Structure 1
Amino acid sequence: MDKMILGRYLPGDSILHRLDPRSKLLALFLFILIIFWANNPLTNLLLFVFTFSLLFLSKLPWTFFFKGLKSMLFLIAFTTLFQLFFTNSGAVLVQFSFLKITEGGLSQAGIIFCRFVLIIIFSTLLTLTTMPLSLADAVESLLKPLTIFNFPVRELGLMLSMSLRFVPTLADDTSRIMNAQRARGVDFDQGSLLDKVRAFIPLLIPLFASSFKRADALATAMEARGYQGKVARSRYRQLSWKWWDSLALLILFLLGLVLFILKS
């Protein structure tokens, strides 16, 4: 549970912490778009230099950051190996029975690996430097033009903010229930994969019961305060777009232009 990043915010006073959450969300979408132009070693090197420069500017503890990425290592490894062994283009470098590694497969596996790592690092950086409630406010603000089509933007923002707010709480509940089960002799770390899955089944019922009880208490509290979703409400947290937000998007746009020129 200590490795969970979703909903985790590390307070700080870095440049990235002071950016408007809307600019960081737009930067994430733009980064995911331009990352597909990185299809050779030079363009990927530029992206890694840019990303690690952001890590340095964020002043976050790198040990905490990379420990949080361990949860995604299986997905990265599986996708990379799939591309490595099942992309059959170019000369054959190594062959194991029906499995073979080709030049095209090695190149494609390297590109996919870099894309996964970069996207995970950038999105994790966004999460760690932005308060969850501010992130939900940013989503609601960016989707505000959809209100002309009667899209429930306020309700979506409320659901997103509550989801992000209670992710750490659910993680704490899971940790508490696991400790209680361990005290009763349950071992979550030994046995086969099927045994480990079976060991987690006793967690589900108390976790669901705790979640429904908390949701009912939250709904009662909102009703007692007179909450109405369709009524325009004032905000305690006000988003403010500064000149450095525009500068950050401009820098990312220029990086995308350079990648587009240097791509194969």
Structure 2
Amino acid sequence: MQLYYPSNSIIHFMHGFTKILIFGLLFTIIPLFMERPLSLLVMLLLSLMLFVYIRPPRMQWILLVPVSVLAVMMSLTYFFADMGGEVYAQVDLGYWLLTISSGNMQYALTFFMRMMIWCLLFFVLLFSTSSEDLVIGLKKFGLPEFATLSISLALRYWNLMIFDVKTVMDAQFCRGVDFRSGSLLTRTKHFASVLVPVLFVFLKRFRTTSFALTLKGVGRTNKRTYYYNPRLTALDKRAIGLALLMCAIWLVVRLLYGL
């Protein structure tokens, strides 16, 4: 499964620099200054609409499940601290004191919605942008060569890692290892048997990549050249202008009404 999924949405046709600026910087900073749950809820719905608009496949929708579980678990940690407000219930767990109060509920809800907004925007960025466009977009920000190369390799290895795990699991399945039946302990043992061959496959890929980078002279003082170097279009300029206008409108509304 690749993170990037081609589609015909307007977001897919934007430059990587534009999407990083809008979804990775501007729209992710706004939730930090939102304190009211209603404002965050509106922002969350807008982020969800963007996620639906790019039409991700079913497998990428599934990625929202672990993200939501992690967000809920991290939000629950606010109930182990005194965040003020009216106390509804307290449970003594020995070393910890579980407190359910209006302040704890508000902080937990605020944190949950912020995290979901950031994850949705992050997914919109990754699902609509190829690895090459992300690297080119980061180069527009003036990042050093080693940083863009590291990000490019990390994104590429994510896809290769998923492919290698699936290949090893298919090979193990042909040898009689069933990953779909049996008890939880049996399935855990079967999945554990995949770790060793997958580790050797990864090490082999790392060595091959190291040789390839050395042969290409990566790390020298000479500047790299790119065959693929798209430029900002009128669509990108309009999108950046619209995003800046939305941020300015939100800032004015926040100053006037405290949203």
Tell me if 1:118 matches 2:117.
Answer: yes
Q: Secondary structure at the match of 2:88?
A: strand
- Residues 75, 108 of structure 2: 8 Å contact kept: yes
Tell me if 1:250 matches 2:249.
Answer: no
Tell me if 1:29 matches 2:25.
Answer: yes
Letter in 1 for 2:29: L
Change (3 A) 1:225 1:85: closer
Return the match for 1:157 from 148, 162, 168: 148
> Matches of 1:103 and 1:42 in 2, distance apart?
16
Structure 1 residues 84-121: Cα deviation after superposition (integer angstroms, max 9, x where no partner): 34344111223445533100011111101101111111
Change (3 A) 1:220 1:90: closer
Tell me if 1:86 matches 2:81.
Answer: yes
> Matches of 1:132 and 1:259 in 2, distance apart?
37
Return the match for 1:218 from 186, 209, 218: 209
Change (3 A) 1:88 1:15: same
Change (3 A) 1:236 1:217: same
Following superposition, the deviation at residue 72 of structure 1 comes to: 1.6
How many residues are paired up?
Answer: 248
Q: Which residue of the partner structure matches residue 48 of structure 2?
A: 52
State the percentage of identical aligned residues: 21
Following superposition, the deviation at residue 226 of structure 1 comes to: 6.2
Q: Which residue of the partner structure matches residue 239 of structure 1?
A: 230
Tell me if 1:206 matches 2:200.
Answer: no
- Structure 2: stretches of 5+ with no match in the other structure: none
Following superposition, the deviation at residue 140 of structure 1 comes to: 2.7
Equivalences for residues 130-145 of structure 1 within 5 A: 130-144=129-143
> Matches of 2:179 and 2:15 in 1, distance apart?
45
Tell me if 1:16 matches 2:4.
Answer: no
RMSD across aligned C-alpha pairs, in angstroms?
3.0
Q: TM-score, with normalisation over the residues of structure 1? A: 0.79
Q: Secondary structure at the match of 2:99?
A: strand
> Matches of 1:259 and 1:112 in 2, distance apart?
22
> Matches of 1:99 and 1:215 in 2, distance apart?
46
Following superposition, the deviation at residue 248 of structure 1 comes to: 4.0
Following superposition, the deviation at residue 180 of structure 1 comes to: 3.5
Change (3 A) 1:88 1:161: closer
Letter in 1 for 2:28: I
Q: Secondary structure at the match of 2:240?
A: helix
> Matches of 2:4 and 2:88 in 1, distance apart?
45
Change (3 A) 1:225 1:15: same
> Matches of 1:225 and 1:108 in 2, distance apart?
51
- Residues 43, 263 of structure 1: 8 Å contact kept: no
Q: TM-score, with normalisation over the residues of structure 2? A: 0.80
Q: Which residue of the partner structure matches residue 42 of structure 1?
A: 38
Q: Quick check: 81-90 or 26-35, which moved more? A: 81-90
